[in-house]
Structure 1
Amino acid sequence: MAEFKELVNEIKNLDTEKMYGGDFFQTWEKSQDELTATLKTADALRDLRERNISTKVFDSGLGISIFRDNSTRTRFSFTSACNMLGLEIQDLDEKKSQIAHGETVRETATMISFMADVIGIRDDMYIGKGNKYMHDVVDAVAESNRDGILEQRPNLIDLQDDMDHPTQAMADLDHIIHEFGGVDQLKGKKIVMSWAYSPSYGKPLSVAQAIIGLMTRYGMDVTLAHPDGYEVMPEIEKIAEDNAKKSGGKFTKTNDMKAAFKDADVIYCKSWAPFKAMEKRTDLYGRGDFDGIDKLEQELLQQNAQHKDWACTEDMMKLTKDGKALYMHPLPADITGVSAEEGEVDGSVFDRYRNQLYKQASFKPYVIAAMIFLSKFKNPAEILTNLETRGKARQDYK
């Protein structure tokens, strides 16, 4: 298949040396070649699977998932990614582990890593905690590997931290690339990352920050829209500004939702908690002040309720380019009249874009599989070619 061979040839010419044996943390830590290799490898793996060719490159091994926040799509995407490469999956339930009895991060990381090839972690609830925890895990398994305790060091995939959601953003980027007909078609396209009203509290900032931190690398016109008081982390805004300058794109901030939606090509509309509030919650959590956390929750719910007009409605969508912007959401969405009395998006808008939203989600297992694949193979193009040449059927129809 010509498309597959083109993908492999492109991967062959990319510098992925640092990905081999490494981890996938935030996208802004990755080079352009490394991001491109991840997208191309994801597409190549998907191509093989769609042609019923097995992508199992392991005949044993373990993928460990640690979810410190609730998840459906990312949890199943990580499981699917491990499975399609031939790894068994084991979820660490911290409530059922010895962590509750004071077991340290260093000890836990080593004990779960015998015969493990990859660890996927989601830790997004507390500012300054999630990404640090992931690095602590990596440091622990690296040390145990150097000391001869672990025969290999499992690589880590960041399944969402307190600053970034790299697997979501990379899957979203792949979706946009396919929708617009190629990465070269993204330059100048306007994507709006907009806050939206939600009747729930404390949604992480990491999706919004992931989008502005990644899409600005591709020459897009990125607009961050939110009511006053719902700012994201200033250091991530700085990353977006710097990226836009380098790529020839734009990064704009506004408190006017209608102005943001005007002539947009892509609308990404999602709720998140204010950065200052998330900092305060982290401080309260650190002090064990759960009454204070409950009080903060009520304050934030009241604050949210002042901005119910921040929603992706039919009238708002009419402001977009030709009234047909691509609507995106990481799911689950708060759908007005369906999952919420009032929420992020009108039911009619969501229904119209339902299949595209499901397509958007479908890229995540392949992106995660690509991240694992590139961490495990020094010559990814060669291994992909070998898989196609081997041609082992994933499913025998006879």
Structure 2
Amino acid sequence: MIQSSSLEQQLKGRDFLTLVDYSKEEITYLLELANYLKKQQRAGKMEQPLQGKTLGMIFEKSSTRTRVSFEVGMYQLGGTALFLSKEDIQMGRGESIPDTARVLSSYLDGMMVRTFSQSVVEELANYASIPVINGLTDTYHPCQVLADLQTIQEIKGGLQGVKIAYIGDGNNMAHSLMIGASKMGMDVAIAAPNGYQPDPSITKKAQSFANTEGGTVLITDDPQVATGKADVIYSDVWASMGQESEQEKRVEAFANFQVNTELLELAKPDVTFLHCLPAHRGEEVTSEVIDGEHSAVFQQAENRLHAQKALMTALIG
């Protein structure tokens, strides 16, 4: 296992609610640990620092990558993961969040929560005595961005000065990408239609981090402006979970925000395409792009496993 005693002590027992709370050094350590665990797994050397540990996974939103990566990751680390849907626990029937947090803290070594409101995750963390991990809310998706940064680092050889262009809804992905990328000294461009741009308060935080780390943050309503000279282009669905009733309206609003071959040609010749998945092919991205030579979406998806193993090792181990 990689050694950094001061960072190990800083991270042990911490919550992971948003990357706002994590320093560049702490994120770097988590990425190094993710790379190490991936290398060890590829070599057939499965380290198990979480033997006897248990992770409770509370899901109020459905999931493929989050559930499987956390459950498999915990198993590979020697621990046990428990899937808890809102129908499985009393929180879905009116038990208070403080009571749920206190009870689960007496049984578990960590909690991962995938829900709608950021306030739910924050309240659980406030009353829990064990680490709480944000597996996704409507405001942030920090676990995904940890894997994204790992993927970009693998492909581009580093993060400082790399330009990432996010094309689409100014949602939880846009928020977390802005925060994570700006903390690592990257240049971030977000292209979203007016009325769908990121939360200004989160943009302001990202701009502050970028100023400190030597990066930039640009918000625009022009996908072509955002994509110019980009090293990485990132896309997400136009209507997230809970926004299904807005699908038709959003398809119209985002009609000019599709990532296609023409848009890729405005970026650098070796541009990498990323998508957090699931993708709606033919809407936010064409099949030609997502299946093309520039796409790294399945490498990115695999890295959810390694990044989350690193996170659980650091916080729970």
- TM-score calculated relative to the size of structure 1: 0.74
The residue type equivalent to 1:191 in the other structure is I
Tell me the secondary structure at the aligned position of residue 368 of structure 1: helix
**Residues 304, 22 of structure 1: CA spacing in aligned structure 2 closer, same or farther, 3 A cutoff?**
same
One of 99, 113, 135 as aligned partner of 1:159: 135
Residue 274 (structure 2) pairs with residue 308 (structure 1): no
**Residues 254, 63 of structure 1: CA spacing in aligned structure 2 closer, same or farther, 3 A cutoff?**
same
For these two proteins, the number of residue pairs brought into alignment is 317
Shift of 1:307: 3.2
Shift of 1:14: 5.4
Partner of 2:207: 241
CA distance in structure 2 between the aligned counterparts of 1:355 and 1:206, rounded to whole angstroms? 22
**Residues 247, 210 of structure 1: CA spacing in aligned structure 2 closer, same or farther, 3 A cutoff?**
same
Equivalent residues of 1:193, 1:212 under 8 A apart: no
The residue type equivalent to 2:202 in the other structure is I
Residue 218 (structure 2) pairs with residue 252 (structure 1): yes
CA distance in structure 2 between the aligned counterparts of 1:57 and 1:220, rounded to whole angstroms? 32
Shift of 1:12: 2.1
One of 190, 193, 197 as aligned partner of 1:227: 193
Shift of 1:355: 6.5
Larger Rg: 1
The residue type equivalent to 2:279 in the other structure is A
**Residues 110, 191 of structure 1: CA spacing in aligned structure 2 closer, same or farther, 3 A cutoff?**
same
One of 36, 39, 47 as aligned partner of 2:31: 39
Partner of 1:136: 123
Partner of 1:363: 303
Q: Deviations over 1:228-269 (max 9, x none)?
A: 211111111001111111111111111111122222111012
Please list, as runs of the form range in 1=range in 2, the aligned pairs for 1:202-213 lying within 5 A after superposition. Answer: 205-213=171-179
Identity of aligned pairs, percent? 26
**Residues 14, 173 of structure 1: CA spacing in aligned structure 2 closer, same or farther, 3 A cutoff?**
farther
One of 21, 29, 33 as aligned partner of 1:29: 21
Equivalent residues of 2:273, 2:294 under 8 A apart: no
Shift of 1:272: 4.6
Equivalent residues of 2:237, 2:279 under 8 A apart: no
The residue type equivalent to 1:178 in the other structure is E
Q: Deviations over 1:73-125 (max 9, x none)?
A: 111111122111111111112223333443222232333344411111112x3
Tell me the secondary structure at the aligned position of residue 74 of structure 1: helix
CA distance in structure 2 between the aligned counterparts of 1:263 and 1:354, rounded to whole angstroms? 15
Equivalent residues of 1:205, 1:273 under 8 A apart: no
Residue 11 (structure 2) pairs with residue 71 (structure 1): no
Tell me the secondary structure at the aligned position of residue 112 of structure 1: helix
Tell me the secondary structure at the aligned position of residue 164 of structure 2: strand
CA distance in structure 1 between the aligned counterparts of 2:65 and 2:48, rounded to whole angstroms? 22
One of 172, 184, 191 as aligned partner of 2:164: 191
Between 165-174 and 154-163, report the one with greater CA deviation.
154-163
Shift of 1:303: 4.6
List runs of 5+ in structure 2 lacking aligned partners. none
Please list, as runs of the form range in 1=range in 2, the aligned pairs for 1:1-398 lying within 5 A after superposition. Answer: 8=2, 11-12=3-4, 15-123=7-115, 125=116, 129-130=117-118, 132-142=119-129, 154-181=130-157, 183=158, 186-195=159-168, 205-272=171-238, 297-298=245-246, 301-322=248-269, 324-336=270-282, 343-353=283-293, 356-377=296-317
CA distance in structure 1 between the aligned counterparts of 2:23 and 2:54, rounded to whole angstroms? 28
Partner of 1:388: none
Tell me the secondary structure at the aligned position of residue 57 of structure 2: strand
Tell me the secondary structure at the aligned position of residue 96 of structure 1: coil
- TM-score calculated relative to the size of structure 2: 0.91
The residue type equivalent to 2:86 in the other structure is E
Shift of 1:30: 0.8
Tell me the secondary structure at the aligned position of residue 10 of structure 2: coil
Equivalent residues of 2:193, 2:253 under 8 A apart: no
